[in-house]
Amino acid sequence: MLIKRSPNGIEIPFPSEITPQHIFESRRNFIRQIALGSIAGGALLEMAGRQALAQNSGQKLAGKPNPAYVVMDRPSAYKDATTYNNFYEFGTDKADPAKYAGSLKPRPWSIVIEGEVKKPVMLDLDSLIKLAPLEERIYRLRCVEGWSMVIPWIGYSLSALIKKVEPTGNAKFIEFVTLADPKQMPGLRSPVLDWPYVEGLRIDEANHPLALLTFGMYGEVLPHQNGAPVRIVLPWKYGFKSAKSIVKIRFVREQPKTAWSRAAPQEYGFYSNVNPAVDHPRWSQASERRIGEDGFFTRKRKTLMFNGYNEVASLYAEMDLGKFF
């Protein structure tokens, strides 16, 4: 993505965080080390703080596998999916979110749904999760930068939520507003984007069953770096459309001004459907590197129209996708 760095780079004050997979192991070691008397004073306090920060990650979350939404490709390794991330609120390097997103507090969390709806509402996380049965779906995710992964997500179709709030006839688009709290997100100090990170969809896109309101992955609640506690996943669009850590969903009349299209409109369009025939102004989109298949002789994969999700094609039947990229 286009990156504007501040003259001094990004200052990140937080200590490294523990990745979810290691939490159990590290807790056990922590207790063992206390028992052995090998941790003392400040170190003990610092570790206790880190344990507290990591508490929300790693919790199990079950979703009923939905065979209608499974790709044949092998899912990416959990480690790759949780250590190679884009979440600029925690820094612009791929490793930054895993290192620094421990400061995100995914509970308590609430989400406001407002605008052109008959039933605006503020929901806490548990009420939101219980709104519809959770499913596990294995989706391809193609980043605009030219890499891809395959991830087992847990959530339900966004359309279930849309139905509950009863959009008015004026609701033509949906805007997703994500958390922008400098106390939790060190990356906000850098003017990479005009915060908060905002994304949007046309209402018929948002109602497509593929659009997944997502609470978990790999049988666990979303790790902080993957957009805890709630994000959207839109597998037929470039990854940046899949906004993380959502706090507000607004139903609006006009096409929302999204963070990336404001930063570089000539490079990142509102639609951003995966399209191998429409190159990014600075690179080709014809092929992709699957993370985890990085051997020297490994061939790149051909990128598929709509990332292979042809069922969305009818949403764009009348459109010139070169113009509306």
How many Å apart are CA 232 and CA 174, to the nearest integer? 12
Is 69 one of the binding residues for ligand MTE (CB under 6 A)? Answer: no
**Looking only at Cα atoms, what is the longest distance across the chain?**
70
240 vs 251, beta carbon nearer ligand MTE = 240
**Among 102, 108, 106, which residue's Cα sits nearest to residue 13?**
102
Taking CB under 6 A as the criterion, the residue among 104, 177, 230, 243 binding ligand MTE is 243
Question: How many residues interact with ligand MTE (rule CB under 6 A)?
Answer: 18
Q: What is the SS3 assignment for 26?
A: helix
Distances (CA, A) of 45 to 70, 167, 309: 44, 49, 49
How many Å apart are CA 199 and CA 260, to the nearest integer? 8
Q: How far is the CB of 207 from ligand MTE (least distance, A)?
A: 21
How many Å apart are CA 20 and CA 223, to the nearest integer? 7
Place of tokens 């100090």: 189
Taking CB under 6 A as the criterion, the residue among 140, 244, 248, 250 binding ligand MTE is 244
**Which of positions 139-198 make contact with ligand MTE (CB under 6 A)?**
141, 143, 178, 197
**Among 62, 59, 36, which residue's Cα sits nearest to residue 107?**
59
Binding mask 90-129 for ligand MTE (x = CB under 6 A): ----------------------------------------
Q: How far is the CB of 144 from ligand MTE (least distance, A)?
A: 7
Stretch of residues binding ligand MTE (CB under 6 A), selected from 56-64, 65-73, 86-94, 302-310: 86-94
39 vs 198, beta carbon nearer ligand MTE = 198
Q: How far is the CB of 140 from ligand MTE (least distance, A)?
A: 11
Q: What is the SS3 assignment for 150?
A: strand
**Among 95, 92, 86, which residue's Cα sits nearest to residue 19?**
95
39 vs 104, beta carbon nearer ligand MTE = 104
Is 86 one of the binding residues for ligand MTE (CB under 6 A)? Answer: yes
Taking CB under 6 A as the criterion, the residue among 76, 83, 85, 272 binding ligand MTE is 85
88 vs 251, beta carbon nearer ligand MTE = 88
- The radius of gyration of the chain from alpha carbons, rounded to an integer in Å, stands at 20
Q: How far apart are the first and last CA of the chain?
A: 15
How many Å apart are CA 66 and CA 54, to the nearest integer? 30
Is 273 one of the binding residues for ligand MTE (CB under 6 A)? Answer: no
Is 50 one of the binding residues for ligand MTE (CB under 6 A)? Answer: no
Distances (CA, A) of 223 to 108, 310, 314: 15, 30, 34
Taking CB under 6 A as the criterion, the residue among 226, 261, 272, 303 binding ligand MTE is 226
**Which of positions 11-30 make contact with ligand MTE (CB under 6 A)?**
none
Place of tokens 């805890």: 228
Is 307 one of the binding residues for ligand MTE (CB under 6 A)? Answer: no
Is 285 one of the binding residues for ligand MTE (CB under 6 A)? Answer: no
In the complex, residue closest to ligand MTE by CB: 239
53 vs 141, beta carbon nearer ligand MTE = 141
How many Å apart are CA 156 and CA 166, to the nearest integer? 17
Is 245 one of the binding residues for ligand MTE (CB under 6 A)? Answer: yes
10 Å Cβ neighbour count for 298? 11
Is 89 one of the binding residues for ligand MTE (CB under 6 A)? Answer: yes
Q: Angle at which helices 41-54 and 20-36 pack, to 10 degrees? A: 150
Given the rule CB under 6 A, which residues bind ligand MTE? 1, 85-89, 141, 143, 178, 197, 226-227, 239-240, 242-245
